[in-house]
Chain A
Amino acid sequence: MIDTALIVGQSGFPDPMGGLTLSHYLFVSAAMMAIGLIGFMSRRNLIIMFLCTELMFQGAGIALIAFSRYHLNYDGQTFVIFVLTIAAAEAAMALALVVLLFRRRESLSSEEWSELKG
């Protein structure tokens, strides 16, 4: 009796995927991740490289929201809030660093800093 009562609920989510499956959203997420990866590897402008990492964050966000919808709980959406927080913090720090590097070398090229050592 409890088992049947468990799954009866108020209609909050209409049939969401509308003929789509989880795979559809995950494919978009994977495509954005791959595009961001290509951009990060092939572009030489520091700012564009950071933009590409933001694109990869977006891919991860779509996957999280799609899984949150799939499992009907809010943990995925909550996690996207933290992803946004980290993205904002990262953007602030990265752009401050980029401004500093630009003042030193008058260039945004990543190859200007290829002699950095660990």
Chain B
Amino acid sequence: MEQVVSPLILYAATGVGALGVMLAMPKRRGGIAAIGGLLVAVAFGGLLLGMLALAGPVGEAPNLFFYVFAGLAIASGLRMITHPRPVYAALYFILTILSSSGLYVLLSAEFMAFALVIIYAGAILITYLFVIMLATQAPSEEDEERLSDYDAVANEPVMASIVGFAMLALLSTMLFTGAPDLERSPYLETPGATLASQPVKIERMLLDPLREVEGPDGSPIVGEDDEIATRETGAGRRAIVDVEARLVGVSPRGDDGVVDASAVRMVSVPDELWPDDVQGTNVEGLGLNLLGQHPMTIEIAGVILLMAMLGATVLARKQVDIEEALKARQARRLAGDAYSTVSSGEVEP
């Protein structure tokens, strides 16, 4: 169990970060947001540098991309919550999304990285931008004056920063010092175990061709009742397969449909049946996992999306009776806008 960042650095950095966010929160008067931003940058920069210095064994090259993407994601997230203008906040959130999709690529989740960009940055955030533009008064040249009060002044920034950074400090203390077994997964020590983690793929790719092959005594090597042999590990079911020796473990299916694990025998796959590329790609593995192990969840997700669509349509179509006073206020505001633009252009000397 190795300590990644010393607790002293961690607590100091979270304290400085809380102070910085406190100062950077939007407020009307006496803005020292720049100092706050600097403090937050120092805090998170110190934490990331601490992780950089202490990560991995000595001599191992640090993964530069991780620090770039992580820093960008955190920095744009902070700017999102401290920027007084909603449109800018949404744009900074898009930057956060793009950075975290970079982190997904580093974690070899390519499909999810693209899905994140397309769904989040492409669809959800555009909807947010539309609503922000519909529901916000247009700013004029004098930016600060036209900001609505609820955008310009934060609500309880001190308490919020303290609570948020206390949570961060606790979570990271557990991550960095408390939690045991943060060594790498034993499967990483072997050159990839992706094929073993996809029994369905082996069944389709190796076992089905093998059913056609006859052994020396005329009977099929793999009978109709045989299934790919799997074994429950801590991280899910793994097929028993030896890629280098081209062996596949099969076992007869029991009466109740359960594979009998005690009767595993290793079958050698002939060279002509062995595919050129047995490597499991990310999309393939994800698709097999999604449809093979969570089919009911897809149905539920579909129903939820349908309900959300119907609900949003019904809600947004609803006619609202505005009170007379509010109507008058709106009319006055619109008239005032028209009057002020005319007057500022022509009447003033």
> Which positions in A face B, CB cutoff 8 Å?
1-2, 5-28, 30-39, 41-45, 47-48, 50-52, 54-55, 58, 61-62, 65-66, 68-75, 77-78, 80-82, 84-93, 95-100, 102-111
User: A47 and B115: CB pair below 8 A?
Assistant: no
Contact residues, B172-196 vs A (CB, 8 A): 172, 175-176, 182, 184-188, 190-196
Determine the chain B residues whose CB is within 8 A of the CB of A30 once the complex forms.
Answer: 167-168, 171-172, 175
B124 lies within 8 A of A87 (CB): yes
Within 8 A of A (CB), among B107-138: 107-109, 111-112, 115-116, 119-120, 123-124, 127-128, 131-132, 134-136
A15, A19, A35: the one within 8 Å of B188 (CB): A15
| Docked complex Cα distance between A61 and B124 (Å) | 16
- Residue on A with the closest CB to B135? A102
Interface size on B, residues (CB 8 A): 130
- Contact yes or no, B108 A13, CB < 8 A: yes
Additional A-B contact list (14), CB under 8 Å, known A41-B155, A47-B131, A77-B109: A10-B191, A12-B281, A32-B96, A36-B81, A38-B160, A65-B107, A66-B107, A73-B197, A74-B290, A77-B286, A85-B301, A86-B301, A88-B305, A89-B304
Do residues A7 and B190 form an inter-chain contact, with CB atoms below 8 A? yes
Please determine whether A18 and B305 come into contact, CB atoms closer than 8 angstroms.
no
- The A-B contact count (CB < 8 A) is 349
Give the interface segment out of B30-38, B210-218, B310-318, B341-349: B310-318
Please name all residues of chain B whose beta carbon is closer than 8 Å to the beta carbon of A14 when the two chains form the complex.
108
Chain A at the B interface: SS class? helix
A42 to B136, CA, bound (A): 19
Task: State whether A68 touches B109 (Cβ < 8 A).
Answer: yes
Complex CA–CA separation, A68 to B264 (angstroms): 28
Given contacts A32-B73, A104-B320, contact A110 B150 (CB under 8 A): yes
**In-complex Cβ contact of A10 among B96, B175, B243 (8 A):** B243
